[in-house]
């Protein structure tokens, strides 16, 4: 082993050297780009590069997902580096070489870690000023004690941090940057200890909110707040009581040399905090760098004035990313609005926006324009997107005859095209279902084990499927058939989806499963056997998760749309319909796939429609032609069952595709 380890270490240092060399070239390139003012990003070149690398990786036996992930990081780094060079060239005060950053909290707090990430690249040392409150952080910059304030404004679990908005609104500081930090809370202690023996937990109020589900499970402990997570760690070090614990980052645990008792204890893994970096002077951002602008405004006190102000954004095609209202101190029931939008203060439409807004407000101040942290990642040539130019020229314009045909009276409203003419686009993770997209959902009928669902996830990802399916609760005809592994399966499914960055879908059978499944699954499926379980429909209608509604095997399209109406009427407007075959006199196939339903539904409803050829056909060797037919007839996607060993599957083995068949299916679809 010694020998191999030596070689691995050598390879690793080689990789580091190469990355540094690559960065140097990146620096050379940006000065050339600056000379002729060419774009910083060349997306078509990036795409070409990634596609070639994936091909190369495949030949060398590397998963395309792995290669893409590694090179996304490398390309992101290069873009960030080039952006920063351009930014510094325009803004850097050459006399200052050190940066003093004021934060709320101390070394090891999340503000500290986010500052290191934000300023980490620069050669200058960063020094910190540790403050007790956000207001003090702001004051430190105003009084020139510090150059920058690093302020957490919002978190994906606990929401907006109002004190920070108030501190920014009340100051004259400019926003000069943003940072997105992945906050991974841990429970830490000075000794190993069983959770139910913990008596006290120190933490920060925001951290406590983000982990309240985990914390409320430790019944023996009371929770006490500190001004930041790092200080709560310091406190347990000082008190030396083995029954005391704290919530903080892994870095803080390292720094203060305490033991991690549990990792990742936030309510959701996607726990991110957005920080704003503020300074006394605004910066200018080269228009080649994607930028955001922030402002505060107070609209006038008359009906519709907020609508009028917001409609200016719409008319100019400016995308707002945040709208937060804060009370105006001293003026009861009056509000100040804080807004972020995508755009550069130098853009002509942003100039127009500010001009026009000015006429509708009582107060308006631009807080700053700064580079946006969201890097738009290039997708590798997904075969499904590189469609040949097969134009359906013969598509007939809407005929007079059709227009004049009297409309049959329908008993649903929200699901109808009359109510909403634009296609509904349903988002699950970063996948959009509906419109012109064709989405493939793949996975086993039932989640049978960690390994099985992981293998399916990998296969789905490698072949560019976008969503992972897997049944956890199975509605089987016979009570003696496999009923699913329940919540254990849900955990395996979620972990597999996360490992391969695939949103997941699973079926809910009962009302009381809905909220718990919705915590972990990106889409809820209501199965064919439950299509008219109106109580269940109402319950998923209250959920914030998208719902895929399978057509019942004896249901008409009118009944399907009325079932969808139950969900929509409860508030959930993210419904996907699924045609999965109906019962007819024909017994040669498991069900009869009603392909005619697709164009009819597309006329009657704005909701996206997925086709499930697996349950319709029941025999794996005939799934491919049916899937192609679904695409040809205009479905927004398909859902297919795949299995690493279909012959040993615990459910629906005969219709589950072998992995090589699935690969074949995906390339057939890509040709269409």
Instruction: Indicate which residues carry an active-site annotation.
Output: 273, 275
Angstrom CA distances, 76 to 46, 367, 375, 477, 485, stand at 11, 27, 7, 51, 40
Site for Mn ion in 311-370 (CB under 5 A): none
* Residue 433 C-beta: closest distance to ligand PEP, Å: 16
Q: Pick what 527 binds: ligand PEP, Mn ion, none; C-beta below 5 to 8 Å, kind-dependent.
A: ligand PEP
Applying CB under 6 A, among 41, 580, 606, 643 the residue interacting with ligand PEP is: 580
The residue with tokens 């914390």 is 215
List the 186-189 sheet strands across, edge first.
222-226, 200-204, 244-248, 186-189, 259-262
Phi, psi dihedral angles at 389 (to 5 degrees)? -80, 70
Among the residue ranges 237-245, 370-378, 489-497, 526-534, the one whose residues contact ligand PEP (CB under 6 A)? 526-534
Tell me which of Mn ion, ligand PEP, none is bound by residue 146, counting a contact when its beta carbon lies within the kind-specific cut-off of 5 to 8 angstroms. Answer: none
Residue 154, binding choice from Mn ion, ligand PEP, none, Cβ under 5 to 8 Å by partner class: none
Q: Of 529-548, which residues contact ligand PEP (CB under 6 A)?
A: 529
The stretch among 44-52, 287-295, 325-333, 527-535 that binds ligand PEP (CB under 6 A) is 527-535
Query: Within 421-450, which residues bind Mn ion (CB under 5 A)?
Result: 445
Residue 99 touches which of Mn ion, ligand PEP, none (CB < 5 to 8 A by kind)?
Answer: none
Partner from ligand PEP, Mn ion, none contacting 484, C-beta within 5 to 8 A by type: none
Task: Please identify the residue of the shown chain whose CB is closest to the bound Mn ion.
Answer: 445
- Per CB under 6 A, does 211 bind ligand PEP? no
Binding region for ligand PEP (CB under 6 A) out of 140-148, 417-425, 521-529, 626-634: 521-529
Residue closer to ligand PEP by CB (options 527, 613) is: 527
- Cβ of residue 31: shortest distance to ligand PEP, in angstroms? 56
Residue closer to Mn ion by CB (options 283, 445) is 445
Least distance in angstroms from the C-beta of 584 to Mn ion: 19
Return all residues near 621 (Cβ < 8 A) that are at least 6 apart.
661
Tokens (6 digits) for 87: 């930014």
| Nearer to ligand PEP among residue 174 and residue 530 (C-beta) | 530
C-alpha distances out from residue 31 to 82, 176, 284, 316, Å: 9, 23, 19, 33
What's the rounded Cα separation, in Å, for the pair 670 and 649? 28
Nearer to ligand PEP, 201 or 445 (CB): 445
Nearer to ligand PEP, 498 or 529 (CB): 529
Tell me how many residues contact ligand PEP (CB under 6 A): 10
The shares of helix, strand and coil residues in the chain, as percent rounded to the nearest 5, are: 40, 20, 40
Nearer to Mn ion, 228 or 652 (CB): 652
Which one of ligand PEP, Mn ion, none is in contact with 343 (Cβ closer than 5 to 8 A by kind)? none
Among 466, 506, 550, 574, binds ligand PEP (CB under 6 A): 550
**What are the C-alpha distances in Å from 490 to residues 400, 447, 483, 638, 664?**
51, 8, 13, 22, 28
| From 122-130, 189-197, 317-325, 522-530, span contacting ligand PEP (CB under 6 A) | 522-530
d(CA 485, CA 479) in angstroms, rounded, equals 14
Alpha helices in 336-421 (DSSP H): 348-357, 400-404
Question: 580 touches which of Mn ion, ligand PEP, none (CB within 5 to 8 A by kind)?
Answer: ligand PEP
Q: Does 652 bind Mn ion (CB under 5 A)?
A: yes
In whole angstroms, what is the distance from residue 435 CA to residue 317 CA?
Answer: 20
Strands, DSSP E only, in 229-382? 244-248, 259-262, 272-279, 291-299, 320-327, 335-342, 361-371
Nearest approach in angstroms of CB 445 to Mn ion is 3
Q: What SS3 class is residue 529?
A: helix
**What Cα–Cα distance (Å) separates residue 173 from each residue in 165, 281, 547, 551?**
12, 7, 44, 56
Q: How far is the CB of 524 from ligand PEP (least distance, A)?
A: 12
For ligand PEP, the binding residue among 105, 177, 527, 644 (CB under 6 A) is 527
The minimum distance between CB 175 and ligand PEP, in angstroms, equals 48
Is beta strand 200-204 parallel, antiparallel or unpaired with respect to 244-248?
Answer: parallel
Q: Cβ of residue 161: shortest distance to ligand PEP, in angstroms? A: 42
Which residues have CB under 8 Å from 179's CB, separation 6+?
114, 115, 117, 118, 150, 274, 275, 277, 373
Q: Give the count of residues interacting with Mn ion (CB under 5 A).
A: 2
For ligand PEP, which residue of 41, 292, 615, 620 counts as binding (CB under 6 A)? 615
Q: Which residue has the tokens 């809910």?
A: 508
CB of 441 vs ligand PEP, minimal distance in Å: 10
What is each CA distance from 370 to 179, 210, 281, 295, 517, in whole angstroms?
11, 28, 12, 12, 39
Q: Using an 8 Å Cβ cutoff, are 178 and 292 in contact?
A: yes
Binding mask 434-463 for ligand PEP (x = CB under 6 A): -----------x------------------
Nearer to ligand PEP, 235 or 615 (CB): 615
* Tokens linked to 187: 């429970």
| Cα–Cα–Cα angle for 220, 225, 231, rounded to 5 degrees | 110
∠ CA 231-136-146, nearest 5°, is 95
CB 590 within 8 A of CB 617: yes
Name which of Mn ion, ligand PEP, none residue 175 binds, using a CB cut-off of 5 to 8 Å depending on partner kind: none
Extended beta strands in 174-213, E state: 174-182, 186-189, 200-204
Could you give the CA distance from residue 26 to residue 29 in angstroms, rounded to a whole number? 5
Candidates 19-27, 416-424, 554-562, 647-655; binding stretch for Mn ion (CB under 5 A): 647-655
Name which of Mn ion, ligand PEP, none residue 251 binds, using a CB cut-off of 5 to 8 Å depending on partner kind.
none
Q: Cβ(267)–Cβ(254) under 8 Å?
A: no
* 546: partner contacted, choices ligand PEP, Mn ion, none (Cβ within 5-8 A by kind): none
Asked if 640 touches Mn ion (CB under 5 A), the answer is no
Strand locations in 105-145 (E): 126-131
Q: Give the span between the Cα atoms of 488 and 666, in whole angstroms.
A: 30
Cβ of residue 432: shortest distance to ligand PEP, in angstroms? 21
Residues 455-514 close enough to bind ligand PEP by CB under 6 A: 471, 475
Shortest distance in whole angstroms from residue 580 CB to ligand PEP:
4
Footprint on this chain of ligand PEP (rule: CB under 6 A): 445, 471, 475, 527-529, 550, 580, 612, 615
């Amino acid at each position: 082993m010694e020998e191999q380890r030596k070689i691995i270490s050598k390879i690793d240092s080689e990789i580091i050297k190469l990355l540094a060399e690559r960065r140097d070239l990146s620096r050379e390139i940006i000065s050339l780009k600056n000379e002729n003012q060419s774009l910083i990003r060349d997306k078509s070149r990036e795409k070409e590069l990634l596609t070639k690398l994936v091909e190369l990786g495949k030949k060398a036996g590397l998963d395309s997902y792995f290669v893409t992930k590694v090179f996304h990081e490398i390309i992101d780094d290069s873009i960030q580096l080039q952006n920063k060079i351009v930014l510094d060239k325009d803004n850097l005060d050459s006399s200052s070489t050190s940066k003093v950053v004021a934060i709320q909290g101390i070394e090891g707090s999340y503000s500290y870690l986010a500052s290191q990430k934000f300023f980490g690249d620069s050669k200058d040392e960063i020094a910190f000023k540790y403050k007790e409150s956000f207001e003090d952080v702001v004051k430190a910059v105003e009084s020139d004690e510090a150059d920058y304030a690093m302020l957490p404004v919002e978190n994906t679990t606990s929401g907006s941090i109002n004190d920070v908005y108030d501190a920014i609104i009340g100051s004259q500081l400019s926003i000069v940057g943003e940072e997105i930090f992945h906050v991974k809370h841990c429970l830490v202690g000075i000794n190993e200890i069983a959770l139910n023996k913990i008596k006290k937990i120190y933490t920060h109020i925001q951290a406590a909110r983000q982990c309240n589900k985990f914390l409320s499970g430790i019944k023996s402990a009371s929770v006490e707040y500190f001004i930041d997570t790092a200080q709560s760690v310091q406190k347990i070090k000082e008190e030396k009581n083995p029954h005391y614990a704290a919530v903080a980052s892994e870095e803080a645990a390292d720094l203060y040399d305490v033991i991690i008792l549990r990792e990742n204890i936030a309510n959701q893994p996607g726990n991110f905090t957005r920080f704003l970096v503020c300074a006394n002077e605004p910066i200018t951002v080269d228009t080649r760098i994607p930028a955001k602008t922030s402002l505060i405004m107070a609209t006038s006190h008359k009906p519709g004035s907020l609508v009028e102000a917001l409609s200016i954004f719409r008319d100019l095609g400016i995308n707002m990313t945040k709208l937060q209202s804060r009370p105006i101190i001293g003026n009861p029931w009056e509000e100040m609005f804080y807004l972020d939008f995508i755009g550069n203060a130098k853009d002509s439409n942003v100039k127009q926006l500010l001009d026009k807004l000015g006429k509708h407000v009582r107060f308006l101040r631009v807080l700053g324009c700064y580079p946006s942290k969201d890097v738009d990642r290039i997708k590798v040539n997904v075969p499904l997107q590189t469609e040949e130019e097969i134009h359906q020229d013969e598509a007939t314009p809407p005929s007079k005859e059709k227009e004049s045909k009297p409309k049959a009276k329908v008993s649903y409203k929200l699901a109808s095209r009359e109510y909403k003419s634009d296609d509904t686009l349903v988002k699950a993770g970063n996948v959009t279902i509906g419109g012109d997209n064709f989405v493939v959902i793949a996975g086993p009928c039932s989640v049978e084990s960690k390994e099985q669902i992981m293998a399916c996830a990998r296969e789905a990802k490698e072949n560019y499927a976008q969503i992972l399916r897997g049944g956890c609760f199975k509605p089987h005809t016979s009570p003696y058939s496999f009923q699913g592994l329940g919540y254990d399966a849900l955990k395996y499914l979620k972990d597999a989806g996360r490992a391969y960055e695939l949103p997941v879908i699973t079926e809910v059978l009962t009302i009381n499963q809905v909220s718990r499944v919705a915590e972990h699954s990106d889409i809820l499926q209501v199965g064919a056997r439950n299509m008219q379980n109106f109580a269940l429909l109402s319950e998923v209608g209250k959920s914030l998760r998208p719902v895929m509604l399978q057509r019942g095997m004896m249901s008409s399209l009118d009944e399907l749309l009325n079932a969808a109406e139950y969900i929509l009427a409860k508030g959930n407007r993210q419904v996907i319909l699924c045609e999965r075959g109906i019962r007819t006199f024909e017994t040669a196939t498991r069900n009869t796939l009603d392909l005619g339903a697709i164009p009819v539904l597309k006329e009657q409803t704005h909701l996206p429609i997925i086709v499930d050829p697996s349950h319709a056909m029941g025999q794996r060797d005939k799934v491919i032609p049916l899937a192609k037919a679904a695409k040809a007839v205009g479905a927004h996607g398909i859902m297919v069952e795949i299995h690493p060993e279909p012959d040993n599957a615990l459910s629906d083995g005969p219709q589950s595709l072998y992995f090589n068949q699935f690969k074949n299916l995906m390339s057939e679809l890509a040709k269409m």
